[in-house]
């Protein structure tokens, strides 16, 4: 069972002016046999708030997976990728590449996503778009690979070719 944190990055959501629908949509998609949502938070589009939450969940809470939703576009306040890169120890470029490729089959706007995937300690951090549809479609694109990725991150010695 992998412990998951869902971090919604939204100025309006953090101020109580908008109900978060993307975070709950991500939680709904996670298969219960593999994933347990252990933490959920809404923070504003503030670099330090995002960094602080990612560090706390990775280092203190020791979550296996953090899904962020929001702040991955081109708006001046979209700083989720920069905050994620600030706490990253290693990058996992194939995950956002797969998400953008899958998204391009539905909309040309998918190429505008700046989301990244990174490792901090034993935690995988994955940036997803802020819209419920975009978040859902991006997670669905990589969800089949996540249990294996998290097992390897935890130190599984099972040979990849035997699965």
Residues 32-87: pLDDT tens digits? 999 999 999 999 999 999 999 999 999 999 999 999 999 999 999 999 999 999 99
Which pTM does this prediction carry?
A: 0.95
What span, in angstroms and rounded, lies between the C-alpha atoms of 51 and 35? 23
Domains and CATH numbers, the chain: 2-162 (3.40.980.10)
Residue count (the chain): 163
Residue 86, burial from CB neighbour count under 10 angstroms (0-12, 13-18, 19+): middle
């Amino acid at each position: 069972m992998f412990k998951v944190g869902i971090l919604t990055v939204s100025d309006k959501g953090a101020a109580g002016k908008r109900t978060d629908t993307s975070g709950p949509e991500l939680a709904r998609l996670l298969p219960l046999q593999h994933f347990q949502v252990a933490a959920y938070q809404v923070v504003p589009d503030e670099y330090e708030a995002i960094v602080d939450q990612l560090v706390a969940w990775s280092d203190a809470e020791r979550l296996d997976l953090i899904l962020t939703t929001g702040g991955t576009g081109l708006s001046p306040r979209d700083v989720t990728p920069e905050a994620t890169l600030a706490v990253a120890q290693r990058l996992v470029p194939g995950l956002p590449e797969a998400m953008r490729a899958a998204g391009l089959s539905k909309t040309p706007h998918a190429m505008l996503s700046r989301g990244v995937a990174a490792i901090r300690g034993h935690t995988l951090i994955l940036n997803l778009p802020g819209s419920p549809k975009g978040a859902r479609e991006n997670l669905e694109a990589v969800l089949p690979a996540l249990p294996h990725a998290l097992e390897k991150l935890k130190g599984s010695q099972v040979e990849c070719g035997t699965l």
